[in-house]
Structure 1
């Protein structure tokens, strides 16, 4: 019976993937609607083509964001914090979308932070071009299908990332002017190009900006300055401006921890009369740039490479391989993987004195682990190369995947407890295949082990994995393969060591008792997964998922009945299962959109991009805890070192501001901050002090190490 459970595991994993896809489709209305509405924003895909479609005609697409009162989204450069709206287009052949033509932003104050963005309703227009490949004849019958995937961040007292998938069908021969007024207003809010010259001179830790050629009516007026490049100036610091004849000048302080040294800085100046844009050439030598965790926006590929370079050059491929191997070994000690190892111990015992069976089982399990790590690592590298901001353990950032794994472990637990017999659920041909090919079970158990173990970032893994994503494909693959080999090595040694067989008792009735006992680690894993789900989505989604698990148990028990009772109760159980599945998906979707990440304990503040720079500019040190609810090492450090009264007293004595960057759910700004330190996962602990380089501490944080780092700060 237990030999066949992994076929059901594969079905449950597929369910999880499908649930994740279904959630994404629900969040974005499956790409078929032009409108996506959340509690905070109404987003709509609109088009403007007054002369119809085709070459040499003015055509615009746009995303209109209508914010609820108190909420705002962000400009190209969000300022001290935030992320700009990002658009990914899927257009017919020959139809090309340019970059967003950003309307002039507004400055928003949040405490000491200064942000650039939009409140109320804003339309982000995108000009469209047509290449020679475009043909109206291809779209005469069905029209042009425009698809858009958009991501935007909205903030009030809290910040919530939102996204949507939009679809819009455009008639090819008609003019489209229903939203013409909105497009004209947005295009009218574009900054005009300055006709005169402009330059920026570096003067110590400040930039001296000079802009000539502005409209004569502006002379003597105060202007607002918006740099298009994030992370260059300190947006929240005070700055001065004056007129030297008809040349506007300003002295603007640099960011405390600047991440870029551009040769040209595009800037926008605004007043009540409108806006003006210029690209100012930089003269002078930039002060040394310091990598920072306070990244305002996701860095470009080139910037990320430069930020990772200091650590990458200090870490050879051989040290990375060693770190990956040791990290894989340590993964076997993580609580989240112990239930899967319990399954392997039971399977190992069933082989008894069959040495060949144990060895084949060990090799199959190792193959499942290694190949899964290689596949997962290649997926992370591929997604990051494509511009997606994902990191190690990203699969547990999906609430639907968490719910699917909870369902999977519930099914396994019910099977071990004897409530569910897969022999009653699967065709006889499947069971016969199981009997002839038990090696499939061993391979799939390796896949399952990686699915739940990989997010448990263990000591020595962080730097190796961060290094891996910067390497050529072959070398990166080697690191992920060695990581899997490290995790599989203990089981391989046990399978190929004769002494291991002599330590095992002979197969017998005790194995049935052991099998039922192992049901409880499976159910304990369900408790952990539901806790993670609760931090991601809230109590309603947890209750709905628990209802689904109860319905699953009822359905499983119904299969053990016979005769009329099985038919009647089975139909009832299927109806309850369908209803609770729909309820769980709905509540998970609602919680994914609206529920913040794990709550903060007293003394800690939420991290966001730019906050570190702002605090350092006030002369205060900062300690940042990059964490996630599904990271077991993170939780251990929280309950031990980071809760130690002596450590907390030392933080208070030195006036250290404590920030917590919660990565439980996907957050592009946290992913970018991790990447700036050459990391792809959590935990990561960074201590900042004004005027000093950031200090990265160990993944398994000790009182001694942290107190030693704090001793270097003045009281």
Structure 2
């Protein structure tokens, strides 16, 4: 056999961080030829007290992931995971590795593989690329990743890393001849394994299920669970997890000798895939504070369904009783939407319109029907668009249109025009062409219909109580049932005006038309301008200060153009032409600042900055905090959500509430959905929601609690007291 070749890694085969040293290594004892054993692997050397995770991380954490780029004709098998160790973390426990561990992966070289013979002055080599990610933890957790490259000589053997691969091979669980059995009895799991070797008999074994979140990982042998020997048969009884995520019909499990009982050159662990008998108890689900128990159950089922892997099945119709409850919740949510701050400007327009028609019952009815039609059509259009885009793979939620800077800018321009009109700067009849004015006079109901459309566009970012649960429920329904829910939301929003149009007693409460209406009209211009200010601020969150400044400049130009159209004669033509040309030039120069999306600076490690209470949300950050045993409060929010901003400035800024958070060491994370973020959309979907605000309090070992949209101080303090 040729002499062993020294494997010289290229630059990029080693990645060093403050917590680990990771290296891509290889071992090919018979060279790289079809059918010969070839191994590659990621070797991680941890700093003292730091660890990474096994394939089942335990109560928290994430397993290391390896993604390979290989030449044609070469493929990889699965990671041959060495047996882990149990790592207690407070009241939790994880499965992982400390010190140095090698995660070996077999390469399968087929006859289709042809080495690159074009290299000059060097033997042919196989180029291997690896993209790896891992979560490394101590008391805190840091998500890390690295890209590795390695040139593996194809001739001779590479024995430089033989000792490391031999050690990893010795730590592999050996297959048991018999599958064993597992039985579910009440809240316990009873395991029986046969055929264990003599070296293991009578020893206390460590137990590692490959299926996560099934047993109580932190349970202590001899106290919370027991084990016994009967000849070559090992039995154990252990408690089920308080929050079980799976109910498998078969479980792969690993048992291992304690480190003190292991002997060099002898197997240390064994693996079996045991069938499961018995009936799994019902798993716990998260509580929903603002909905009935029946709707809680429906939402829990829907959340499980939407979190399932793609292709697991199409949405199924819900039972009539459950769906009726969801429809009633949607109707009530739409009704309460009238009380949300988003809808105040539209309320102003409708109040003024109804006052103008006081005493005209027929006009009231027609206006109410037209407004309702506009609301329903808009709700169905927005809901249908969201469902269609989600079905096509887009991660969208309710209020998605305001995640677009262009839409926000267009709405700001529209409300500027409405405000100027109400303030008396211009009259539509003087600024618009005569043909348009005539059409408006012949079809006044078009105004009511369009006001319904506008109400939905501006109100959709708000999520009223009951509305969030119903929208989340709608995502997992067939299209017909989902659209019925959106229609119920629209009917709830339009219901007060519909009732006012058909109930004379309500109409009689309105004051008679008179001079006071001109004063009211000008007063109502200010809610429009307040809405413009809010929209400019929202766009500033999306596009930065340059985008907000550009929008303000163009809104000033828009106001000047509108004013120019109110002039008469030749002056109107000259000034309007100049203003339009100037606005076009300015829009070309600075318009790109409005529609660009500026990403906020994010801390790569998602760790807390000194003195900063709120931290950016990420799934990795939540996992890291869970591994520390810390409870987490998550604020799913957006700049365009007025309800979110109200809760943020009132309840979530209250000194007593913040003191309670500090007293219980609750980590506070903020998931900002102002811009489109698929990760946040996915997290909301898993909670059975599709819009913001959503507030979640979760603690290790307990079901997460979803609080109400209109957040009160007492509700938050009560939830914290229950930790």
TM-score (norm 1): 0.62
Q: For the residues of structure 2 that align with 1:546 and 1:482, how far apart are their CA atoms?
A: 37
Contact 2:462/2:642 (CA < 8 Å) preserved in 1?
Answer: yes
Structure 1 unaligned residues grouped into runs of 5+: 1-69, 71-102, 116-184, 217-222, 266-279, 293-297
Task: Tell me what 1:604 maps to.
Answer: 614
TM superposition shift of 1:290: 8.8
Cα distance in structure 2, aligned partners of 1:108 and 1:505: 79
Equivalents in 1 of 2:563, 2:524: separation in Å?
Answer: 19
Shift of 1:567: 2.2
Q: Which runs of 5+ in 2 are unaligned?
A: 1-14, 16-39, 54-67, 87-92, 110-128, 145-163, 174-207, 214-242, 253-270, 287-303, 603-607
1:491 aligns with 2:501: no
Report the CA distance between 1:325 and its aligned residue: 1.1
Residue 722 of structure 2 corresponds to 712
Aligned to 1:651: 661
Whether the 8 Å CA contact 2:141–2:625 is kept in 1: the answer is no
Tell me by how many angstroms 1:345 deviates.
1.5
Shift of 1:502: 2.7
- The answer as to 2:718 corresponding to 1:684 is no
Distance 1:259 1:569, change over 3 A: farther
- Cα distance in 1 for partners of 2:702, 2:320 equals 20
Match in the other structure for 1:620? 630
Matched position secondary structure for 2:172 = strand
User: Which whole-Å CA distance do the structure 2 matches of 1:589 and 1:490 have between them?
Assistant: 37
Q: Is the 8 A contact 1:625 1:661 kept in 2?
A: yes
User: What CA deviation, in whole Å up to 9, does each residue of 1:584-617 have, x standing for no partner?
Assistant: 5311234x144569x9993111101221111111
How far apart in 1 are the matches of 2:654 and 2:660? 10
Q: Residue 634 of structure 2 contacts residue 669 of structure 2 at CA under 8 Å; is this kept in 1?
A: yes
Two-structure CA RMSD over aligned residues (Å): 4.8
Name the CA shift for 1:108/1:196 in 2 (closer, same or farther; >3 Å): closer
Distance 1:291 1:211 in 2: 38
Evaluate the alpha carbon distance shift between residue 675 and residue 213 of structure 1 in structure 2; reply closer, same or farther with a 3 A threshold: closer
| Equivalence for 2:76 | 193
Give the alignment partner of residue 582 of structure 2, picking from 576, 584, 592: 576
- Equivalent in 633, 637, 662 of residue 643 of structure 2: 633
Paired position in structure 2 for 1:142: none
CA distance in 2, matches of 1:546, 1:553: 11
Structure 2 residue aligned with 1:173: none
Tell me, in whole angstroms, the C-alpha distance in 2 between the residues paired with 1:112 and 1:626: 31
Superposition deviation, residue 341 in structure 1: 1.7
User: What is the match of residue 26 of structure 2?
Assistant: none
Show the counterpart of 1:546. Answer: 552
Q: CA deviation at 1:316?
A: 2.0
Task: Tell whether 2:443 aligns with 1:437.
Answer: yes
SS in 1 for 2:695: strand
* 190 and 616 in structure 1: CA distance in 2 versus 1, 3 angstrom threshold: farther
Aligned to 1:466: 472
How much has 1:390 moved relative to structure 2? 0.2
Report the CA distance shift for 1:513/1:700 in structure 2 as closer, same or farther (over 3 A). closer
Equivalent residue of 1:342, what SS?
A: helix
For residue 427 of structure 1, the aligned residue among 415, 423, 433 is: 433
| 1:367-425 deviation per Cα after TM superposition (whole angstroms, max 9, x unaligned) | 11112111111111111111110001111111111111000000111111222333244
Rate the CA distance shift 1:307–1:192 in 2: closer, same or farther, 3 A.
closer
Q: 2:485 matched to which residue of 1?
A: 479
**Equivalences for 1:228-267 in 2 at 5 Å?**
243=166, 246=169, 249=172
CA distance in 2, matches of 1:519, 1:457: 25
Matches for 1:138-537 after TM superposition, within 5 Å: 188=71, 192-194=75-77, 206=95, 243=166, 246=169, 249=172, 302-303=308-309, 316-537=322-543
- 2-side partners of 1:304 and 1:676: how far apart? 14
Q: Secondary structure at the match of 1:664?
A: coil
| Aligned residue in 2 for 1:671 | 681
How far has the Cα of 1:260 moved from its partner? 7.7
| Cα separation, partners in 2 of 1:653 and 1:557, compared to 1, 3 Å | same
Name the CA distance, whole Å, in 2 between partners of 1:481 and 1:440.
Answer: 20
Q: Relative to 1, partners in 2 of residues 1:668 and 1:540: Cα closer, same or farther, differing over 3 Å?
A: same
Pick the aligned partner of 1:566 from 563, 572, 577: 572
Match in the other structure for 1:23: none
Partners of 1:307 and 1:676 within 8 A in 2? no
Pick which of 192-201 and 495-504 moved more. Answer: 192-201
Asked if the contact 1:331–1:458 (Cα under 8 Å) also holds between the matched residues in 2, the reply is: yes
2: CA distance, partners of 1:379 / 1:706: 35
CA offset at residue 289 of structure 1? Answer: 9.1
Distance 1:549 1:385, change over 3 A: same
CA contact (8 A) 2:74 2:108 kept: no
* Displacement of 1:363: 0.5
- Counterparts in 2 of 1:18-167, with a 5 A limit? none
Q: CA deviation at 1:244?
A: 5.8
Task: For 2:44 and 2:408, locate their aligned partners in 1 and report how far apart those are by CA, in whole Å.
Answer: 39
Against the structure 1 CA distance between its residues 114 and 659, is the aligned structure 2 distance closer, same or farther, given a 3 Å change threshold?
farther
1:288-325 deviations in Å (ceiling 9; x for gaps):
99999xxxxx998733899999xx99992122112111
Whole-angstrom CA distance in 1 between matches of 2:358 and 2:687: 48
Question: Who wins on radius of gyration, i.e. which is larger?
Answer: 2
C-alpha distance in structure 1 between counterparts of 2:45 and 2:541, whole Å:
29
Q: Is this contact kept in 1: 2:209–2:251, CA < 8 A?
A: no
Aligned counterparts of 1:307 and 1:290: Cα–Cα separation in 2? 23
Provide the TM-score with structure 2 as the length reference: 0.61
Matched with 2:57 is: none
Aligned-pair distance for 1:245?
A: 8.0
Say which SS state the counterpart of residue 566 (structure 2) adopts. Answer: coil
CA distance in 1, matches of 2:79, 2:462: 57
Moved more, 371-380 or 437-446: 371-380
Task: Name the count of aligned residue pairs.
Answer: 508
